Amino acid sequence: MFTGIVETIGVVTSIDGNSVSISAEKFTDRLTIGGSVSVKGACLTITSFLNEQFTVDIVDETRRKTNLGYLKVNSKVNLELPVPVTGSFDGHIVQGHIDNTVQVASILEESDSQIITFKAAALDMRYMVTKGFVALDGVSLTIVECQPETFSIALIPHTSKNTTLGELIVGDSVNLELDLFAKYAEKLINS
């Protein structure tokens, strides 16, 4: 389980078929082979690590549901390790199970932040509410506003600087993880 609080930004160093190597100097001392890591919000298994670099496999199902198939050497990625039982729970419950991708529709610059609007599938929008939360490329965020096919978030300067979201441009694809509890509530109500 993750919290959506990005620990560091990694850089893709090599891609060999499904195998992707990532350089991340901040937390490689805490990695274990077979352990999990959130890469752009997707929970992946660490297959090897050495010094400040680790490797994960990105299989076809992950490529279908996420934007990880577009990674290239030198791509930047948000990284987070699972929260330990004794850890701080600052974001929200994030599984690392990407539901879909959404596209940046607009970016509005404000004096102290950016309002970023995303176009989403109508089926995904049913799980979103104003002031609820989503995870975008692994970042826990509060929803500012919902419309039938769009939602927006406010990107504060700290998040802009310490995640890859500050580099977004209109048209970019972003991984979306919806609120798990909203999905459970829907299933219970419908059953």
Same domain, 60 and 115: no
The CA-atom distances, in angstroms, between 120 and each of 50, 80, 103 are 38, 24, 7
Q: Are residues 175 and 146 in the same domain?
A: yes
Of all residues in the chain, the percent with pLDDT exceeding 90 is 81
Task: Scan for tokens 């504060």, then name that residue.
Answer: 156
Q: Which residue has the higher pLDDT, 85 or 189?
A: 189
Average pLDDT of 53-65? 96
**105 and 186, same domain (yes or no):** yes
Asked if residue 124 belongs to a domain, the reply is: yes
Rg, C-alpha atoms of the chain: 16
Q: Would residue 89 count as lying in a domain?
A: no
Looking at the domain assignment, is residue 86 inside a domain?
Answer: no
Q: Say whether both 149 and 119 belong to one domain.
A: yes
Residue 183 and residue 133 in one domain: yes
Whether residue 6 contacts residue 141, with contact meaning beta carbons closer than 8 Å, is answered with no
End residue of a domain, out of 49, 80, 111:
80
Mean per-residue pLDDT over the chain, rounded: 93
What's the CATH number where 41 sits? 2.40.30.20
Is residue 119 assigned to a domain? yes
Q: Do the domain assignments include residue 93?
A: no
Q: Are residues 74 and 118 in the same domain?
A: no
User: Does the structure show a pLDDT above 80 at 70?
Assistant: yes
162-176 residue pLDDT tens: 999 999 999 999 999
Question: Is residue 151 located within the same domain as residue 186?
Answer: yes
Q: For residue 177, which of 68, 69, 65, 70 has the smallest C-alpha distance?
A: 65
Q: Do residues 170 and 123 share a domain?
A: yes
Buried b (16+ CB within 10 A) or exposed e, 27-52: bbeebeeeebbbbbbbbbebeebeee
SS3 119: strand
The verdict on 115 and 38 lying in the same domain is no
Considering the domain architecture, whether residues 68 and 144 belong to the same structural domain is answered as no
Same domain, 108 and 171: yes
For the chain, how many structural domains are there in total?
A: 2
**pLDDT score recorded for residue 82:** 92
Range of the domain at 117: 100-190
Tens-digit pLDDT profile for residues 18-47: 999 999 987 778 889 999 999 999 999 999
Distance CA 188, CA 31 (A): 37
d(CA 33, CA 158): 31
Among 46, 80, 114, which residue terminates a domain?
Answer: 80
* Average pLDDT of the segment spanning 101-118: 96
In this structure, the answer to whether residues 76 and 122 fall within a common structural domain is: no
pLDDT band at 88 (very low <50, low <70, confident <90, very high): confident
Domain assignment of residue 95, yes or no = no
Residue 27: the pLDDT is 77
Phi, psi of 24 (to 5 degrees): -150, 105
